[in-house]
C-alpha cells in the first residue's frame, strides 16, 4: 500500500521540521511538502495532491480558519487535522474549525509535565488520527464473553427507556450539533454524553450546543441530579459515571486510569448506566476512532438495554460504531440525520404507544434548530 501523502501547514519552522521528521519516520506516512501559511498551502495542494493536511490555526497572511474555508470549497473530501493550542482561544478556534469542516484536531503539548512525554503523546495521537482518516487504521474486535447478546439472543420485550447514553469521538462535535438540537424541550429522559475532548474544549462545546438546543446542555459536574430534557457532557480529563441513590440518579466524576487511552471514556459511562438503570437504557455509539464503547455496549446489552449506532456512510470514522456492529451488539444502524428521530421514537414507544405524528413532533427529521 502506498504511504499516506501529507502536507504540513504551520508558520513555525520548528514545528514544520518536527512534524516532517516524526511523521516521515513511519513507513506508512510520507510528508510531501510543507507550507508556512495558508496561501502557500493552497498553491501546494494543486501541485502535490496530498491525501491529508495538518493545519495550524494561527498563521500570517492567511490563517488556518480562512485556509480551511477555501480548502472545503475546492477539496470538500480532503481530510484536514487542525493543530491547536490547549487554551481558551485555541479551543474556541478549534470548535470553529470543526464547524467549518475540519476532520479532526490534535492539541499541542501543554506546559505541564515532561515536554518530551507530552510531545510523544501528541505525535502518537496525530499518527493514529491520520491513519484512521485515510483508512489505514487496523480494525480489531475486542474479546467478548460467550454469553454476550450476539451469541445468546435477547428478549423481544422492550423495557421502558429512562436514560439515553451517547458515546462519540472523531467527528463527534458536528454529529452532536446535528442530533441534540432536534430534541424538544419536553424530551422525557435525561441524556449523558462522552465526547473525547480535553479540558476547556468540553465546556465550550457544551456552551455552544446549549445555545442551539431546546433541551438544556451543560458540562457534567459531580452531584448533578439527572432530569428529563437535560443533557450532560463529560468534562475533559475526567471519567463521568451515573450512580443511583434511592429514587435519584446523579453524576459523579473521577480521574481514574484512562480506558482505551481515553479519559473520559465511553466504556466507563456505559458501564455505570447499565449498573444504575439496568434494562432501561438506550445507548448510542456515534462516529469515532478506536474501540471505546464496545465493552460498555456489551454491559448495556447484558443488562437488557438497547444499543444503536451511526451508520458507516455518515460517520467521519466508523471505528467505534463499526466495532459495536461487528461485535453483534447493535440493534440498528442509522444515518446521522435520522438518529434523533430514531432515538425519540424508541424513547416514546417504550413509554407508551404514540402516533407517528406525536413522535415526529418531538424530533424534527429536517434541519436542527438554530
- For residue range 210-255, list pLDDT tens digits in order: 999 999 999 999 999 999 999 999 999 999 999 998 899 999 999 9
Phi first, then psi: give them for residue 28, nearest 5 degrees.
-85, 0
The pTM is what? 0.89
Helix, strand or coil for residue 238? coil
Q: Based on the residue annotation, tell me whether 169 is a catalytic residue of this protein.
A: yes
- Which grid coordinates belong to 200? 476547556
Q: Cell 429522559 sits at which residue?
A: 189
Q: How many angstroms separate the CA atoms of 274 and 13, rounded?
A: 50
Q: How many angstroms separate the CA atoms of 21 and 120, rounded?
A: 13
Reading across the β-sheet that carries 4-9, which strands appear in turn?
A: 29-35, 4-9, 52-56, 80-84, 104-107
Q: Which of 22, 84, 103, 169 is catalytic?
A: 169
Q: Which of 292, 299, 302, 306 is catalytic?
A: 292
Helix, strand or coil for residue 370? coil
* Residues constituting the chain: 370
Task: Based on DSSP, count helices (H) and strands (E) in the chain, helices before strands.
Answer: 13, 14
Q: How many angstroms separate the CA atoms of 330 and 353, rounded?
A: 23
Asked if residue 203 lies in contact with residue 219, where contact means CB atoms within 8 angstroms, the answer is yes
Alpha helix stretches (DSSP H) within the chain = 13-24, 38-48, 64-74, 88-100, 115-133, 149-152, 172-179, 201-212, 266-277, 294-302, 319-326, 336-350, 356-362
The CATH 3.40.50.180 portion of the chain extends over: 149-362
Strand pairing category for 248-254 and 239-245:
antiparallel
Fold of 149-362: Rossmann fold (3.40.50)
DSSP state, 257? P
- Which grid coordinates belong to 35? 507550507
Asked if residue 219 lies in contact with residue 197, where contact means CB atoms within 8 angstroms, the answer is no
Q: Which of 103, 196, 299, 362 is catalytic?
A: 196
Strand pairing category for 163-168 and 230-233:
unpaired
**Ordered per-residue pLDDT tens for the chain, 370 residues:** 899 999 999 999 998 999 999 999 999 999 999 999 999 999 999 999 999 999 999 999 999 999 999 999 999 999 999 988 878 888 999 999 999 999 999 987 665 555 566 678 889 999 999 999 997 555 555 554 444 444 444 445 679 999 999 999 999 999 999 999 999 999 999 999 999 999 999 999 999 999 999 999 999 999 999 999 999 999 999 999 999 988 999 999 999 999 999 999 999 999 999 999 999 999 999 999 999 999 999 999 999 999 999 999 999 999 999 999 999 999 999 999 999 999 999 999 998 855 444 444 455 544 455 4
Q: Based on the residue annotation, tell me whether 196 is a catalytic residue of this protein.
A: yes
Query: Mind giving me the DSSP string for 8-56?
Result: EE-S-HHHHHHHHHHHHTSTTEEEEEEESSHHHHHHHHHHH--SEEEEE
CATH of domain 4-133: 3.40.50.2300
The CATH 3.40.50.2300 portion of the chain extends over: 4-133
Closest C-alpha to 297, from 66, 80, 100, 141? 141
DSSP state, 328? T
Provide the b/e sequence for 95-122 (b: ≥16 CB within 10 Å).
Answer: bbbbebebbbbbbebeeeeeeeebeebb
Amino acid at each position: 500500500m502506498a504511504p499516506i501523502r501529507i502536507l504540513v501547514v504551520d508558520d513555525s519552522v520548528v514545528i514544520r521540521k518536527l512534524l516532517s521528521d516524526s511523521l516521515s519516520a513511519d513507513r506508512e506516512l510520507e510528508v510531501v511538502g510543507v507550507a508556512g501559511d495558508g496561501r502557500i498551502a493552497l498553491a501546494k495542494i494543486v501541485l502535490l495532491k496530498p491525501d491529508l493536511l495538518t493545519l495550524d490555526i494561527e498563521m500570517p497572511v492567511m490563517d488556518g480558519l480562512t485556509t480551511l474555508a477555501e480548502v472545503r470549497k475546492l477539496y470538500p473530501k480532503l481530510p484536514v487535522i487542525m493543530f491547536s493550542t490547549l487554551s481558551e482561544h485555541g479551543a474556541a478556534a478549534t470548535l470553529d474549525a470543526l464547524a467549518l469542516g475540519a476532520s479532526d484536531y490534535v492539541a499541542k503539548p501543554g506546559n505541564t509535565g515532561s515536554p518530551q512525554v507530552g510531545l510523544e503523546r501528541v505525535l502518537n495521537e496525530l499518527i493514529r488520527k491520520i491513519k484512521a482518516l485515510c483508512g489505514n487504521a487496523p480494525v480489531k474486535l475486542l474479546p467478548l464473553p460467550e454469553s454476550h447478546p450476539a451469541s445468546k439472543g435477547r428478549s423481544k420485550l422492550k423495557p421502558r427507556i429512562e436514560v439515553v447514553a451517547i458515546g462519540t469521538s472523531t467527528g463527534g462535535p458536528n454529529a452532536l450539533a446535528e442530533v441534540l438540537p432536534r430534541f424538544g424541550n419536553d424530551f422525557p429522559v435525561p441524556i449523558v454524553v462522552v465526547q473525547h475532548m480535553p479540558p476547556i474544549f468540553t465546556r465550550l462545546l457544551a456552551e455552544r450546543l446549549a445555545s442551539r438546543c431546546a433541551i438544556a446542555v451543560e458540562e457534567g459536574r459531580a452531584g448533578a441530579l439527572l432530569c428529563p430534557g437535560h443533557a450532560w457532557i463529560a468534562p475533559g480529563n475526567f471519567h463521568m459515571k451515573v450512580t443511583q441513590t434511592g429514587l435519584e440518579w446523579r453524576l459523579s466524576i473521577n480521574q481514574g486510569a484512562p480506558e482505551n487511552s481515553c479519559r473520559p471514556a465511553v466504556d466507563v459511562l456505559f458501564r455505570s448506566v447499565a449498573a444504575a438503570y439496568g434494562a432501561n437504557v438506550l445507548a448510542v455509539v456515534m462516529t469515532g476512532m478506536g474501540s471505546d464503547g464496545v465493552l460498555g455496549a456489551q454491559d448495556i446489552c447484558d443488562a437488557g438495554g438497547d444499543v444503536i449506532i451511526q451508520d458507516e456512510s455518515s460517520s467521519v470514522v466508523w471505528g467505534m460504531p463499526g466495532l459495536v456492529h461487528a461485535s453483534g451488539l447493535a440493534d440498528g444502524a442509522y444515518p446521522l440525520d435520522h438518529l434523533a428521530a430514531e432515538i425519540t421514537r424508541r424513547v416514546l414507544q417504550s413509554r407508551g404507544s404514540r402516533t407517528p405524528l406525536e413522535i415526529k413532533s418531538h424530533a424534527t427529521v429536517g434541519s436542527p434548530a438554530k
